[in-house]
């Protein structure tokens, strides 16, 4: 496996692009406008200038591994931009938040291309052309129902070559739901309260609200057949307490940049599932309404 294409040059895309470039031919799929922008000035990763190959969106040039690292709001367009890079033997992974991206990608390209994945434990922040991080995090990999496959084995071999931290999960769907539960809390609460990881590492009302939002996912996960538990809540709270206090999640970065966030992936999904199952979700409904109202103000210059 030699060639990798990544679509999405945000914090996660650049973090893993930088790691994979140590062992592989890595390129980023971009449109013409962004290609011109990125060609003019390099990205820096922890202060070191980096150059990446820039691949034309919509081109036909199959690769060995395709990595989706866009925001959830951009996934449908990214699927079409990257379609020409999928060949018969292409492995696909998604680094997106939420619990729906593999279904969307699998419907377009076939589930046999996919290795299910969730990214956790990193504290990467992209500001302008600069990416900074102290924690690389871990990619959790697996297949629905467990077991292995040639694609999963090949992917693990590749990550070993590039020293990418990963772990294979016996129950990847449970891991994805657990990470979704974390994102529902930390991403949304820090966007609303304009904080960083240090904000929710301290006892107080913001941390309490984050935990309350996370706990609303537990009964929904039970109804959806992938139950998460209070033990999962506590495990992820311990993980959050290890991150750099100055770091921040992607939704907080969206708020700083005044761009539309992944709120539909988080409280939007919680509210829809709560309606489906007739369950309350007052914290997530408040977060959803608050974030949507704030984002509506962006267009008005508020």
Q: Which CATH number goes with the domain that contains 29?
A: 3.40.50.720
Number of structural domains (the chain) is 2
| Same domain (yes/no): 211, 149 | no
Q: Terminus-to-terminus CA distance in the chain, angstroms? A: 49
- Domain boundary at 112, 145, 169, which? 169
- Domain boundary at 144, 169, 194, which? 169
| Same domain (yes/no): 235, 135 | no
* Domain range enclosing 286: 173-299
CB atoms within 10 A of CB 160: 11
- In this prediction, residue 1 has a pLDDT band, given cuts at 50, 70 and 90, of low
| Same domain (yes/no): 193, 220 | yes
Sheet harboring 166-168: ordered strands across? 116-122, 136-142, 166-168
Report pLDDT digits (tens) over 14-47: 999 999 999 999 999 998 888 887 777 788 999 9
Give the contacts of 293 (CB within 8 A, at least 6 positions apart).
none
Residue 113 in this model has a pLDDT that exceeds 70 = yes
What does pLDDT average to over the chain? 94
- pTM of the predicted model over 0.85: yes
The CA-atom distances, in angstroms, between 233 and each of 34, 127, 179, 228, 238 are: 39, 30, 10, 8, 9
| Same domain (yes/no): 136, 19 | yes
- Domain boundary at 131, 147, 169, which? 169
Q: What is the DSSP letter of 114?
A: B
- In this prediction, residue 128 has a pLDDT band, given cuts at 50, 70 and 90, of confident
Residue 222 in this model has a pLDDT that exceeds 80 = yes
Residue 108 in this model has a pLDDT that exceeds 90 = yes
């Amino acid at each position: 496996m030699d060639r990798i294409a990544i679509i999405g040059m945000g914090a996660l895309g650049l973090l893993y692009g930088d790691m994979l470039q140590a062992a592989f031919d890595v390129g980023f799929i971009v449109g013409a406008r962004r290609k011109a922008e990125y060609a003019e000035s390099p990205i820096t990763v922890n202060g070191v200038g980096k150059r990446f190959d820039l691949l034309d969106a919509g081109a036909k040039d199959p690769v060995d591994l395709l990595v989706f690292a866009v925001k959830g709001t951009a996934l449908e367009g990214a699927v079409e931009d990257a379609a020409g890079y999928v060949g018969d033997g292409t492995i696909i992974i998604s680094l997106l938040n939420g619990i729906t991206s593999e279904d969307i990608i699998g419907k377009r390209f076939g589930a046999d291309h996919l290795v299910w994945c969730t990214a956790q434990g990193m504290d990467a922040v992209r500001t302008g052309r600069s990416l900074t991080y102290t924690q690389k995090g871990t990619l959790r990999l697996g297949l629905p129902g467990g077991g292995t496959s040639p694609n999963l084995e090949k992917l693990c071999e590749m990550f070993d070559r590039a020293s990418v931290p990963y772990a294979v999960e016996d129950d990847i769907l449970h891991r994805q739901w657990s990470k979704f539960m974390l994102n529902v809390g930390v991403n949304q609460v820090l966007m609303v309260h304009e904080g960083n990881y240090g904000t929710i590492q301290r006892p107080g009302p913001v941390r309490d609200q984050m935990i309350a939002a996370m706990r609303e996912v537990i009964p929904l996960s039970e109804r959806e057949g992938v139950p998460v538990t209070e033990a999962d809540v506590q495990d992820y709270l311990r993980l959050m307490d290890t991150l750099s206090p100055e770091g921040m999640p992607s939704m907080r970065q969206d708020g700083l940049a005044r761009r539309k966030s992944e709120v539909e992936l988080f409280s939007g999904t919680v509210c829809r599932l709560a309606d489906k199952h007739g369950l309350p979700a007052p914290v997530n409904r408040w977060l959803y309404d608050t974030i949507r109202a704030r984002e509506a103000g962006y267009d008005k210059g508020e």
